[in-house]
Amino acid sequence: MAECGASGSGSSGDSLDKSITLPPDEIFRNLENAKRFAIDIGGSLTKLAYYSTVQHKVAKVRSFDHAGKDTERDHEPPYEISVQEEITARLHFIKFENTYIEACLDFIKDHLVNTETKVIQATGGGAYKFKDLIEEKLQLKVDKEDVMTCLIKGCNFVLKNIPHEAFVYQKDADPEFRFQTNHPHIFPYLLVNIGSGVSIVKVETEDRFEWVGGSSIGGGTFWGLGALLTKTKKFDELLHLASRGQHSNVDMLVRDVYGGAHQTLGLSGNLIASSFGKSATADQEFSKEDMAKSLLHMISNDIGQLACLHARLHSLDRVYFGGFFIRGHPVTMRTITYSINFFSKGEVQALFLRHEGYLGAIGAFLKGAEQDNPNQYSWGENYAGSSGLMSTSPELGPAQRARSGTFDLLEMDRLERPLVNLPLLLDPPSYVPDTVDLTDDALARKYWLTCFEEALDGVVKRAVASQPDSVDAAERAEKFRQKYWNKLQTLRQQPFAYGTLTVRSLLDTREHCLNEFNFPDPYSKVKQRENGVALRCFPGVVRSLDALGWEERQLALVKGLLAGNVFDWGARAVSDVLESDPHFGFEEAKRKLQERPWLVDSYSKWLQRLKGPPHKCALIFADNSGIDIILGVFPFVRELLLRGTEVILACNSGPALNDVTHSESLIVAERIAGMDPVVHSALREERLLLVQTGSSSPCLDLSRLDKGLAALVRERGADLVVIEGMGRAVHTNYHAALRCESLKLAVVKNAWLAERLGGRLFSVIFKYEVPAE
C-alpha cells in the first residue's frame, strides 16, 4: 500500500508524496470539509481523527401534481426523479506510523480550509512529545485528554455502533476470527489494556468506569526484558522470534517435575510449572527464539490469570483486550486466549476488537465533539472507506507486516436516525440476522464471491445507464468497479476483514462503493417505470381478487405476493429475463412459481389462522418496487385492512437495488389511495402507516432499525411480522425468532441457493411461525 521513503519525512508537503505511494487524498479524505481534530500518538503509531461533511448525490422522488387531471395517461411516469446534493456527516480515522507524523501534519496544514477549528484533542503517551510540533504545524491548540478515559469512550462507541466489532480468536480454527453479534447492553464489561503495563478497568456505564487493578508485567516487560535477553530491539521482531521458539527448552514443565508420571496422573505434562525454570539449573546457552517464546507465555499467562481473577471478583464474563501488546498480533491473541480459557475454565471469553487501535483517537475525538452530541446518533462503518482487519500472520516477516499496515483507515457515516432493536425480537442478545456465515462456509463463500464478481459488469452498466446526462459517469463507474473488485479480492484472502462475511455484507459493501462514486440510486429509472406499469394494473388485479371466494382469494393473495417478489433486479436469473423480455409481467411471473407444496410450505396453517380472529397490527417489510409492492403487497395489505388489522408498512430509508424506498412507497400509496377507497380511508385514519426502516440495505438487520419504527410497533402492539424477499427473509432472518407470529416468504431466485435449500430455481419459501407459548 504505502512505502516509507528512505529519506524519512521532510518538512514540506511534497515529501509526503515522495514517501507515500498511495495518493494522500485517498488517505486524508474530505480534508477540505474537515473540522474538529483529535490525535492519539502511541509508542509507534499515530491515530488521527476528524469529522467531515460529505456531499452526496441523492435521488429524490416527487409526486406530480395530479390535481385537475381526471384521466390516467399511459406512459406517463407516476412521479418525477431529481438528483440532489445532500450533506451527511462522516468520521475519519487514520492510523499511520509515527515516522510519517510530520509529513502528515504538513499535508493536513496545506489542505485544511476550515478555519473554525482552533483546538486539537490529543491523547496517548506521545501527545506530550509531539505537542510543540502539532501546535506549530497546524496552528491549533493542543488539548490533552486522559488516556484511559479516551480509550473507554472509544471502546463504548465502537461496541455500540459497529456490528461485529468484537471477536474471539481461535488459532488453527477456520476462520480464526469469530465475530460476536452486538449485545444490546454493552455494560458492564472489563477492559484489559496491555500497553507497556496492564490496566484493568471495569466499565459500568457510558461515563462510569473504575480502575480495578493492573500489573506491571505487560508489553513493556515483553519488549524490555526481551531486548535484554535476545538483543533484539524491535517489538515485532521479538514477536516473530517468539512465534518460532520452543518454550519447553527454557520453562520447567510439569513433566520435568513429575517425570513420566504426569500421564498416569492425567496431567498435561506441557503445563508450565516454572517459567524460565530450566535456565536456573542448566549451564547452557538458550536460543533467542526459545527465550522469546517463554517470555511471551509467561506474560500472556500472567495477564490472563489476573484478568480472570478480576472478572470473577466482579462477576463479569466479557473481557475485552487491547493495547499494543495485542494490536492484531495473532501470536499474542493466541496466548492470551489460551490463558483465559485455561484459568477461567471457559467461563470467561477473551474478546478482541477490530478497531482496537483507534479507541484512543475515537475517544479523544468524542471528548472534543461533545457539543455535537455524537453519541445521540447511530453511526455505521463505511465499508468502502475503511481498510479491513489485516491478517497479520505470524509467518509474515516483520517488514512485510509493517508495510501492509502502514496506513489504515476507518470511516463511519452518521446515520440520519438512531437505530434500535425491533421490540418483537424474542431474544435480542442471541439474534443473528444472517443465515449463512460465509467466513465459516468456504463453499458458499466461494460461490457468492464469484457470483458478485460476475454480476459486477451488469452493475457497472446499470450505474452508467442511470446517469445518461453525466459526462464522467463512465469514469466513476470504472472507479467503482475497481474499488468493489478490490474489496472482493481482499475478502477472498481475508474473509474476516469486515467482520463476519455474509451475503448481506457483500451487498452492503457494493452499495457503499456505489455511493462513494456518486451512484446513489442506479435503479431509480427502472423503479419509476415499473411502478408506473404496476399502478396501471392495480385496479384490474384488485377487481379479479375481489371476484374470488374467500378461501381462493387468500391463496391468490399469497401467490400474488410471491409472484411480485420474482421482480428482483438483484437476482441475475430475473434480471436476464427482464432485460430480454420487456413484456414479462405479473401473470408470467405467477407461472414461473413452483406449484404447491412449496419448498417450505406452512400455507395451510396460515389459512387456518386467517379463519380465526384478525391480527391487531401487522408489520410488513417490503422488498421490490413495481409489481412486487403494488400488485403483491398492497392487495395483501388491503385484505388485512379489511379484516380490521392495522398495517405498518416499512420500507428502506435509502435506495438499494430496485428495492422500494420509503419516499417511493409514500407516492405509490398516495396513488393507490386515489384508486382504492379501502387504502384511502386506512391512510386517512392512520390504520395504514408507512415508515422507514433506517436501512439502505437489500437485507434486513432487525437489531438496527429506525427508532420511530420501533416506537410505533410498540405503540400499536404489532402481533404479526411479514418479511418478504430473498434478501430479508432468506439471506437474513430465516432463523430469526420473534415474540409474535411471523410470515417469511420469498421466491428463491438463485439456482445455487435453491439447490442448497433442496429445491430448484423459483422455489417458494412460505414460512409461517407462531411463537411457542
Partner 1 sequence: MRRRGPFHPRVHWAAPPSLSFRLHRLLLLHTVNPPRIREPIGREAFGPPPASSDWLPTHWRNGRGGRPRARLCSGWTTVEEARRSPTLGGWLGRQRWLLRMGAGRLGAPMERHGRASATSASSAGEQAAGGPEGRRREPLRRRASSASVPSVGASAESARRDRLGSYSGPTAVTRQRVESLRKKRPLFPWFGLDIGGTLVKLVYFEPKDITAEEEEEEVESLKSIRKYLTSNVAYGSTGIRDVHLELKDLTLCGRKGNLHFIRFPTHDMPAFIQMGRDKNFSSLHTVFCATGGGAYKFEEDFLTIGDLQLCKLDELDCLIKGILYIDSVGFNGRSQCYYFENPADSEKCQKLPFDLKNPYPLLLVNIGSGVSILAVYSKDNYKRVTGTSLGGGTFFGLCCLLTGCTTFEEALEMASRGDSTKVDKLVRDIYGGDYERFGLPGWAVASSFGNMMSKEKREAVSKEDLARATLITITNNIGSIARMCALNENINQVVFVGNFLRINTIAMRLLAYALDYWSKGQLKALFSEHEGYFGAVGALLELLKIP
* Binding range to partner 1, per CB under 8 A, among 257-265, 409-417, 593-601, 634-642: 257-265
**Cell match 406452512: residue?**
602
> Between residues 221 and 594, which has the closer beta carbon with respect to partner 1?
221
Q: Kindly report the number of other CB atoms within 10 A of residue 367's CB atom.
A: 18
Q: Does residue number 224 form part of the binding site for partner 1 (CB under 8 A)?
A: yes
Site string for partner 1, 588-627 (x = CB under 8 A): ----------------------------------------
> Between residues 272 and 747, which has the closer beta carbon with respect to partner 1?
272
* Binding range to partner 1, per CB under 8 A, among 254-262, 329-337, 377-385, 423-431: 254-262
CA distances from 1 to 96, 355, 643 (A): 12, 19, 61
Q: Helix (H, G, I), strand (E, B), or coil: what is residue 685?
A: coil
Give the residue from 686, 691, 708, 609 showing the smallest Cα distance to 641. Answer: 686
Q: Does residue number 251 form part of the binding site for partner 1 (CB under 8 A)?
A: yes
Q: How many residues bind partner 1 (CB under 8 A)?
A: 68
Query: 123, 279, 337, 518: which one contacts partner 1 (CB under 8 A)?
Result: 279
Within positions 467 to 526, which residues make up the interface with partner 1, using CB under 8 A? none
What DSSP designation does 440 have? Answer: T
Rounded Cα–Cα distance for residues 236 and 402 (Å): 9
Q: Does residue number 276 form part of the binding site for partner 1 (CB under 8 A)?
A: yes
Task: Find the shortest distance in angstroms from Cβ 168 to partner 1.
Answer: 20
Query: 253, 669, 682, 747: which one contacts partner 1 (CB under 8 A)?
Result: 253
Task: Find the shortest distance in angstroms from Cβ 15 to partner 1.
Answer: 27
> Between residues 273 and 673, which has the closer beta carbon with respect to partner 1?
273
Q: Does residue 522 have a cis peptide bond before it, meaning omega lies within 30 degrees of 0?
A: no
What phi and psi values does residue 59 have, to the nearest 5 degrees? -85, 125
Q: Does residue number 223 form part of the binding site for partner 1 (CB under 8 A)?
A: yes
Q: Is 648 in contact with 723 (CB distance < 8 Å)?
A: no
Q: Does residue number 340 form part of the binding site for partner 1 (CB under 8 A)?
A: no
What DSSP designation does 173 have? Answer: S
- Grid coordinates representing 228 are 535484554
Among left, alpha and beta (phi > 0; psi -120 to 50; other), residue 624 is beta
Rounded Cα–Cα distance for residues 773 and 769 (Å): 12
Burial category of 315 from C-beta neighbours within 10 Å (exposed 0-12, middle 13-18, buried 19 and up): exposed
Q: Does residue number 345 form part of the binding site for partner 1 (CB under 8 A)?
A: yes
Any idea how long the chain is?
Answer: 773
> Between residues 214 and 708, which has the closer beta carbon with respect to partner 1?
214
Q: Does residue number 257 form part of the binding site for partner 1 (CB under 8 A)?
A: yes
Q: Does residue number 261 form part of the binding site for partner 1 (CB under 8 A)?
A: yes
Q: What is the largest CA-CA distance in the chain?
A: 103
* Binding range to partner 1, per CB under 8 A, among 129-137, 248-256, 361-369, 591-599: 248-256
> Between residues 71 and 281, which has the closer beta carbon with respect to partner 1?
281
Q: Does residue number 578 form part of the binding site for partner 1 (CB under 8 A)?
A: no
Helix axes 442-466, 473-493, angle to 10 degrees: 170
Query: 227, 465, 673, 751: which one contacts partner 1 (CB under 8 A)?
Result: 227
Rounded Cα–Cα distance for residues 642 and 677 (Å): 11
- Grid coordinates representing 608 are 387456518
Q: Does residue number 381 form part of the binding site for partner 1 (CB under 8 A)?
A: no
Q: Does residue number 440 form part of the binding site for partner 1 (CB under 8 A)?
A: no
> Between residues 108 and 254, which has the closer beta carbon with respect to partner 1?
254
Q: Does residue number 277 form part of the binding site for partner 1 (CB under 8 A)?
A: yes
Q: Does residue 429 have a cis peptide bond before it, meaning omega lies within 30 degrees of 0?
A: no
Q: Helix (H, G, I), strand (E, B), or coil: what is residue 322?
A: strand
Query: 220, 522, 626, 655: which one contacts partner 1 (CB under 8 A)?
Result: 220
Task: Find the shortest distance in angstroms from Cβ 188 to partner 1.
Answer: 17
Q: Does residue number 250 form part of the binding site for partner 1 (CB under 8 A)?
A: yes
Q: Helix (H, G, I), strand (E, B), or coil: what is residue 558?
A: helix
* Binding range to partner 1, per CB under 8 A, among 64-72, 277-285, 689-697, 732-740: 277-285
Query: 5, 124, 219, 380: which one contacts partner 1 (CB under 8 A)?
Result: 219
Q: Does residue number 259 form part of the binding site for partner 1 (CB under 8 A)?
A: yes
* Binding range to partner 1, per CB under 8 A, among 218-226, 598-606, 620-628, 743-751: 218-226
Task: Find the shortest distance in angstroms from Cβ 216 to partner 1.
Answer: 4
Q: Does residue number 44 form part of the binding site for partner 1 (CB under 8 A)?
A: no
Q: Is 450 in contact with 737 (CB distance < 8 Å)?
A: no
| CA dihedral over 354, 355, 360, 363, signed as positive or negative | negative
> Between residues 203 and 545, which has the closer beta carbon with respect to partner 1?
203
Rounded Cα–Cα distance for residues 318 and 188 (Å): 8
Within positions 292 to 321, which residues make up the interface with partner 1, using CB under 8 A? 298, 301-302, 305-306, 309-310, 312-313
Query: 1, 4, 273, 607: which one contacts partner 1 (CB under 8 A)?
Result: 273
Rounded Cα–Cα distance for residues 165 and 320 (Å): 11
Query: 22, 119, 173, 228: which one contacts partner 1 (CB under 8 A)?
Result: 228
Query: 264, 371, 373, 580: which one contacts partner 1 (CB under 8 A)?
Result: 264
> Between residues 229 and 438, which has the closer beta carbon with respect to partner 1?
229
> Roughly how many angstroms between the first and final C-alpha of the chain, as a whole number?
56
- Grid coordinates representing 145 are 485528554
> Between residues 278 and 731, which has the closer beta carbon with respect to partner 1?
278
- What residues pair up with 732 in beta bridges, in sequence order? 434
Residue 493's identity, in one-letter code, is Q
Give the residue from 202, 281, 295 showing the smallest Cα distance to 243. Answer: 295
What DSSP designation does 631 have? Answer: I
697, 699, 700, 704 alpha-carbon torsion, rounded to 10°: -40
Rounded Cα–Cα distance for residues 577 and 12 (Å): 58
Task: Find the shortest distance in angstroms from Cβ 302 to partner 1.
Answer: 6
Q: Which residues contact 428 (CB under 8 A, 6 or more apart)?
A: 184, 421, 703
Q: Is 647 in contact with 689 (CB distance < 8 Å)?
A: yes
**Cell match 417478489: residue?**
565
**Cell match 475503511: residue?**
386
Task: Find the shortest distance in angstroms from Cβ 348 to partner 1.
Answer: 13
Task: Find the shortest distance in angstroms from Cβ 171 to partner 1.
Answer: 18
Task: Find the shortest distance in angstroms from Cβ 339 to partner 1.
Answer: 9
**Cell match 524491535: residue?**
234
* Binding range to partner 1, per CB under 8 A, among 27-35, 338-346, 540-548, 743-751: 338-346
Element (H, E) at 53: strand 45-63
Rounded Cα–Cα distance for residues 166 and 350 (Å): 10
Q: Does residue number 280 form part of the binding site for partner 1 (CB under 8 A)?
A: yes
> Between residues 159 and 217, which has the closer beta carbon with respect to partner 1?
217
> Between residues 42 and 532, which has the closer beta carbon with respect to partner 1?
42
**Beta pairing, strands 45-63 & 79-97:** antiparallel
> Between residues 250 and 651, which has the closer beta carbon with respect to partner 1?
250
Query: 47, 90, 240, 278: which one contacts partner 1 (CB under 8 A)?
Result: 278
Q: Does residue number 125 form part of the binding site for partner 1 (CB under 8 A)?
A: yes
Within positions 139 to 158, which residues make up the interface with partner 1, using CB under 8 A? 146, 148-149
- What residues pair up with 38 in beta bridges, in sequence order? 49, 121
Within positions 177 to 216, which residues make up the interface with partner 1, using CB under 8 A? 195-197, 199, 211, 213-216
* Interacting residues toward partner 1 by CB under 8 A: 125, 146, 148-149, 195-197, 199, 211, 213-221, 223-225, 227-229, 233, 250-254, 256-262, 264-268, 271-281, 283, 286, 291, 298, 301-302, 305-306, 309-310, 312-313, 342-343, 345
